[in-house]
Structure 1
Amino acid sequence: MQELTLTTPALLFSAISLIMLAYTNRFLAYAAIIRNLSDKYIERKEAVLIRQINNLKLRLNLTRWMQILGISSLLLCVLTMFLIYIDLHNAAVWIFGLALLLLILSLAFLIREIQISALALEHHLSDMEKQIDS
Structure 2
Amino acid sequence: MDLTTPALLFPAISLLLLAYTNRFLSLAQVIRQLHASPDPSSPVVMMQIPGLKRRITMIQYMQSFGVLSFLMCALSMLALFVHSEAAGKLMFGVSIVTLAVSLVLSLVEVLVSTNALSVVVDDIQRMADKIPKS
Which category of TM-score, normalised to the shorter sequence, fits these structures? over 0.9
Q: Which residue of 1 aligns with 2:28?
A: 31
Aligned residues: 130
Please state whether the residue corresponding to 2:99 is helix, strand or coil.
Answer: helix
Please state whether the residue corresponding to 1:5 is helix, strand or coil.
Answer: coil
Identical pairs, percent: 38
Cα deviation, residue 44, structure 1: 4.6
Say whether the 8 Å CA contact 1:73–1:102 is kept in structure 2.
yes
- Distance between the aligned counterparts of 1:109 and 1:79, measured in 2? 23
Return the match for 2:8 from 7, 11, 17.
Answer: 11
Say whether the 8 Å CA contact 2:58–2:109 is kept in structure 1.
yes
**2:27 is the alignment partner of 1:40:** no
Moved over 4 A (4+): none
- Distance between the aligned counterparts of 2:62 and 2:41, measured in 1? 31
Letter in 2 for 1:125: V
Cα deviation, residue 74, structure 1: 0.5
Say whether the 8 Å CA contact 2:34–2:40 is kept in structure 1.
no
Return the match for 1:121 from 98, 117, 120.
Answer: 117
Q: Which residue of 1 aligns with 2:91?
A: 95
**2:57 is the alignment partner of 1:74:** no
**TM-score of the pair, normalised by structure 1:** 0.92
**TM-score of the pair, normalised by structure 2:** 0.92
Q: Which residue of 2 aligns with 1:53?
A: 49
- Distance between the aligned counterparts of 2:121 and 2:40, measured in 1? 20
Letter in 2 for 1:19: L
Listed as ranges, the gaps of 5+ residues in structure 1 are none
| 1:84-116 C-alpha deviation (Å, 9 max, x unpaired) | 011111011111100000000000001100111
**What's the Cα RMSD here?**
1.2
